[in-house]
Amino acid sequence: MCSLNNAIAQNSFTKLPKVELHLHLDCSLSFDCVKQLKPTITQEEYKESFIAPPKCTDLADYITRAIKGFELMQTKEQLRIVTLDLFKQLKEDNIVYAEFRFAPLQHTMNGLTASEVVAAVNAATEEGINKYGIEAGIILCTLRHYSEAQSLETAELVKQFKGTHVVGFDIAADEAGFPIKPHIKAFDFANQHKIPCTAHAGEARGAESVWETLNHFKPKRIGHGVRSVEDVNLLNYLKNKDIHLEVCPTSNVQTNVIDKIENHPVDKIYNHGVSMSINTDAKTISNVTLSSEYQLLNQQFKWDLAHFKKCNLEAIKHSFSSEATKKKITNLINASY
Name the catalytic one among 20, 135, 203, 246.
203
Catalytic annotation on 45? no
Spatial separation of the C-alpha atoms in residues 115 and 118, rounded to whole Å? 5
Q: 3-state DSSP: the chain helix, strand, coil percent, rounded to 5? A: 55, 15, 30
How many angstroms separate the Cα of 167 from the Cα of each of 17, 84, 116, 203, 285?
A: 22, 18, 17, 23, 25
Spatial separation of the C-alpha atoms in residues 186 and 197, rounded to whole Å? 11
Q: Residue 198: beta bridge partners? A: 221
How many angstroms separate the Cα of 23 from the Cα of each of 83, 109, 166, 314, 324?
A: 12, 23, 14, 17, 23
State the sign of the Cα–Cα–Cα–Cα dihedral 266, 246, 226, 255: positive
Catalytic residue annotation: 203
